[in-house]
């Protein structure tokens, strides 16, 4: 087998120290993505730094923000009373992802860092600019039914597969990152990036950094919300398109609204134009339909995924409908 060293640490500080010491080291959290990638030969770290014993599993409210540690498991977050009460959209999005077994070990940080599910990325015999820059994009002109319609580049049309991240983007979350010198904060929506000319990079985390926690502002969006995930089977499948929708309603008038989409871009896709359109308007079907059309500006299909041009706006409308009728 391809040998690697396994290290375990109990503090974020020492984890980061181990990381920077070695160019070819990687954090091991739940391992549900990393181990698969190692088995398929997509990645071959020489050192695995097991961070599961680093005490970053907290889920708590501090001031008007909810803090979630990077090592909290996807199930722990989804099932936590605080999250269910104050951020139900996040709970729903998490429950829509993967399977119960996977969610039990998958972590918040790992979920953010999970790589695309593009089949060409996983098959080392196929061209893929993300896995091996310069080899070409297999999905372009190939099987691209699952692929992006927004913000694509000539080099890569992959999507970020996470459900959790769609909700976090909608919820104006912030993410706290740390390197050996200290911490920095970033808007969650800026964490992931578009592929551009460097599809090998999924996000803006630096090579010497670790994800520490999320901070999510408490909001008034816990009443009218919905996470709608359209997929090829009823559970345990990645999204064709998903929509996180939440709004605050006063006399049927929308006073605050958040909309984000998954399965459509290299990053969770916030629908700012649609939000702006709906803000201050009545929650009516015709307004929802117009908002959905606004979201589709600049969308582009690649053959296999052309159906998303219709599915995406439909899913937005239905998510808004379901958020509105939530009791």
Partner 1 sequence: MEKRILKDDNDRVDGILKVTGQAKYFAEYELPGLTYGVLVTSTITKGKITALDTKAAEKAPGVIAVVSHLNKPSAAAYEQEGGPQMKIFYTDKIFYNGQPIAIVVANTFERATYAASLVKATYVKEDFNTDFEKALKDPKAKKLQGQADYKRGIENAYKTAEVKLEERYFLPIETHNPMELHGIIADWRPNNQLTVYAKTQGVKATQGTIANVFKIPMENIQVNSEFVGGGFGMALRTWPLEIATVMASKHIGKPVKVVITRMQMFTMVGNRPAAIQTIGLGANKDGKLTGITHRAYGETSTYENFTEGVVNMAKFMYQCDNVNTAYAIVPVDLGVPIWMRGPGEATGAFALESAIDEMAHALDMDPLDFRIKNDPETDQQKNKPFSSKNIKEAYKIGAEKIGWSNRKNKPGSLIEGSWQTGYGVSVGVFNANRGKASVKGILKADGSLLLQSATSDIGPGTGTGMTLIANKLMKIPVNKITFELGDSSLPPAPSQGGSATLSTVGSAVNDVCVALKSAIAELAANSNMDATANFVDVLKKNNLPSIEVTKESQGGKERDNYSMYSFSIHFVQVKVHALTGVVKVSKIVYVGDSGTIVSPKTARSQMLGGAVGGIGMALTEESIVDHRYGRYINNNFADYHVPVNADVPEIDVNFINKPDPYINPMGAKGMGEIALIGFSAAVANAVFNATGKRIRTLPITPDKILA
Ligand X SMILES: Cc1cc2nc3c(=O)[nH]c(=O)nc-3n(C[C@H](O)[C@H](O)[C@H](O)COP(=O)(O)OP(=O)(O)OC[C@H]3O[C@@H](n4cnc5c(N)ncnc54)[C@H](O)[C@@H]3O)c2cc1C
Choose among ligand SF4, ligand X, partner 1, none what residue 141 binds, the Cβ cut-off being 5 to 8 Å by kind: partner 1
List the one residue out of 262, 20, 265, 64 whose CA is nearest residue 174: 64
Question: Which one of ligand X, partner 1, ligand SF4, none is in contact with 183 (Cβ closer than 5 to 8 A by kind)?
Answer: none
Closer to ligand X at the Cβ: 121 or 277? 121
Q: Could you tell me the CA-to-CA distances from 49 to 20, 34, 94 in Å, in that order?
A: 11, 12, 25
* Distance set, CA 218 to CA 64, 87, 165, 174, 279 (Å): 6, 8, 17, 12, 19
Restricting to residues 85-124, name those near partner 1 by CB under 8 A: 117, 119-120, 122-123
| Of 70-78, 112-120, 235-243, 271-279: span binding ligand SF4 (CB under 6 A) | 112-120
For the bound state, the minimum distance from the C-beta of residue 46 to ligand X, rounded and expressed in Å, comes to 13
Closer residue to ligand X in complex, CB, 74/305: 74
Residue/partner pairs of 277-283 with CB below 8 Å, 24 or more apart: 278/247, 278/254, 279/254, 279/255, 280/253, 280/254, 280/255, 281/253, 281/254, 282/252, 282/253, 282/254, 283/224, 283/247, 283/249, 283/252, 283/253, 283/254, 283/320, 283/324
Binding mask 191-210 for ligand SF4 (x = CB under 6 A): --------x-----------
- The contact mask relative to partner 1 for 189-218 (x = CB under 8 A, - = no) is ------------------------------
Residue owning tokens 């989409």: 261
Rounded to whole angstroms, the Cα distance separating 176 from 57 reads 14
Residue numbers at the binding site for partner 1 (CB under 8 A): 1-2, 41, 117, 119-120, 122-123, 125-126, 138, 141-143, 145, 228, 230, 232-238, 240, 307, 310-311, 314-315, 317-318, 321
Residue numbers at the binding site for ligand SF4 (CB under 6 A): 116, 118, 120-121, 128-130, 137-139, 156-158, 199
């Amino acid at each position: 087998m391809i040998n690697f060293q396994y290290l375990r640490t109990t503090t974020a500080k020492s984890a980061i120290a181990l990381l920077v010491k070695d160019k070819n080291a990687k954090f091991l959290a739940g391992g549900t993505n990393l181990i698969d990638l190692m088995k398929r030969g997509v990645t071959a770290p020489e050192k695995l730094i097991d961070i599961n014993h680093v005490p970053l599993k907290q889920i708590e409210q501090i001031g008007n923000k909810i803090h979630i540690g990077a090592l909290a498991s996807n199930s722990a977050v989804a099932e936590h009373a605080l999250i269910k009460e104050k951020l139900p959209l996040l709970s729903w999005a998490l429950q829509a992802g993967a399977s119960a077994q996977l969610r039990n070990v998958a972590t918040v940080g790992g979920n953010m860092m999970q790589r695309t599910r593009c089949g060409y990325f996983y098959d080392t015999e196929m061209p893929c600019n993300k896995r091996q820059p310069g080899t070409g994009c297999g999905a372009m002109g190939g099987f691209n039914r699952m692929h992006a319609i927004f913000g694509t580049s000539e080099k890569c049309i992959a999507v970020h597969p996470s459900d959790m991240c769609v909700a976090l983007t909608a919820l104006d979350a912030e993410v706290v990152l740390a390197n050996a010198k200290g911490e920095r904060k970033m808007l969650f929506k800026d964490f992931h990036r578009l592929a551009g000319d460097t599809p090998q990079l999924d996000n803006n985390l630096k090579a010497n950094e670790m994800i520490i926690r999320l901070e999510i502002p408490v909001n008034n969006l816990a009443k009218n919300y919905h996470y709608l995930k359209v997929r090829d089977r009823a559970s345990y499948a990645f999204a064709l398109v998903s929509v996180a929708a939440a709004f605050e309603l006063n006399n049927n008038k929308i006073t605050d609204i958040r909309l984000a989409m998954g399965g459509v871009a290299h990053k969770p896709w916030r629908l700012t134009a649609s939000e702006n359109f709906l803000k201050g308007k009545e929650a009516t079907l015709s307004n929802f339909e117009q908002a959905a059309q606004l979201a589709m500006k600049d969308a582009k299909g690649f053959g296999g995924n052309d159906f998303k041009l219709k599915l995406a706006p439909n899913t937005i409308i239905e998510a808004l409908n379901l958020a509105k009728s939530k009791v």
